[in-house]
Homo-oligomer: A and B are copies of this chain.
């Protein structure tokens, strides 16, 4: 933290200009097997008409609360959303109006209704992550950081269960990995692996009402287990940069 000496004596408004602190939220969900991110369309300068991550000023609240509030304002009530701090972006000039330090958050949510409620929601929409380029400010970099975090966390945390409904099939869980990693794990091996990791999923004892669209047996249904880390982990087929 700031030292007393600097705080009392060294303070010079020219060295320490007014700083605004905001939160931006990278909210990911899966729709029709494709990973989407929640974006809002900017109405005014700068970056008018461009898409941006939803966000806003931090008020008299914790940073976590600020992120949750912003998310709720954009999407209405959010059940079972997982939210975690991602990273903080504060380069001078990232906002042309003033110095803005933005604490980015990452949210994972099961399939959500289209955002039509409250706040800036009129302009909010889900965009496939592959189409989410040319965002306002440095939000391309923020999104990229969020995606890389999400891909990495699928490996060693049971986070995939945050993308599906409360009860889900192994195939739906596999669909999460396919959408986020962009690569489909081998169905049979994935099935056995998921069941073998302690605490990842637990059986409900029930099955789906019907088989697949074009036939097939009914799937057993599962709930998220109580594990907070996966051990052993489900490693990505292609292990790439994780710095």
What is A's interface to B at a CB cutoff of 8 Å? 1-8, 10-11, 15-22, 24, 40, 42-45, 48, 52-63, 85, 87-92, 95, 97, 100-103, 120, 136-137, 139, 156-157, 228-229, 231, 239-243
Query: Interface of chain A, helix or strand or loop or mixed?
Result: loop
CB-contact partner of A24 in B1, B10, B54, B88, under 8 A: B1
**Known A2-B56, A3-B52, A21-B90; 5 more pairs at CB < 8 Å:** A1-B22, A1-B102, A3-B54, A4-B48, A156-B242
What residue in chain B is nearest A16 (Cβ atoms)? B57
Bound-state CA distance A52–B56 (Å) is: 31
* Chain B residues within 8 Å of A42, by CB: 3-4
Is the pair A95, B21 in contact by a Cβ cutoff of 8 Å?
A: no
Pairwise interchain contact A62-B92, C-beta atoms closer than 8 A:
yes
Docked-complex contact A5 and B101, CB < 8 angstroms: no
Name the one of B91, B229, B242 contacting A241, with C-beta atoms under 8 angstroms.
Answer: B229
Copies of this chain present in the complex amount to 2
* Sample (27) of A-B pairs whose CB atoms are under 8 Å apart: A1-B52, A1-B53, A1-B55, A1-B95, A1-B139, A2-B55, A3-B42, A3-B56, A3-B120, A4-B48, A5-B43, A7-B97, A15-B60, A16-B57, A16-B58, A16-B59, A19-B19, A58-B101, A62-B90, A62-B91, A63-B88, A63-B90, A63-B91, A85-B88, A228-B242, A229-B239, A231-B239
Q: Given A16-B57, A90-B58 in contact, is the A100-B63 Cβ separation under 8 Å?
A: no
CA distance in complex: A59, B24 (Å)? 22
Q: Which chain B residue shows the least CB distance to A120?
A: B3
A43 to chain B, nearest CB (A): 6
Q: Which one, B62, B87, B92, B136, contacts A1 given CB within 8 A?
A: B136
A19 contact set on B, CB distance < 8 A: 19-21, 58
A87-B85, A156-B242 given; A56·B136 CB < 8 A: no
Residues of chain B within 8 A (CB-CB) of A91 are 62-63
When C-beta atoms are compared, the residue in chain B nearest to A135 turns out to be B1
**B63 A101 Cβ-Cβ under 8 A:** yes
CB distance from A204 to the nearest CB of B (A): 25
- A24 and B55 alpha carbons, distance in the complex (Å): 25
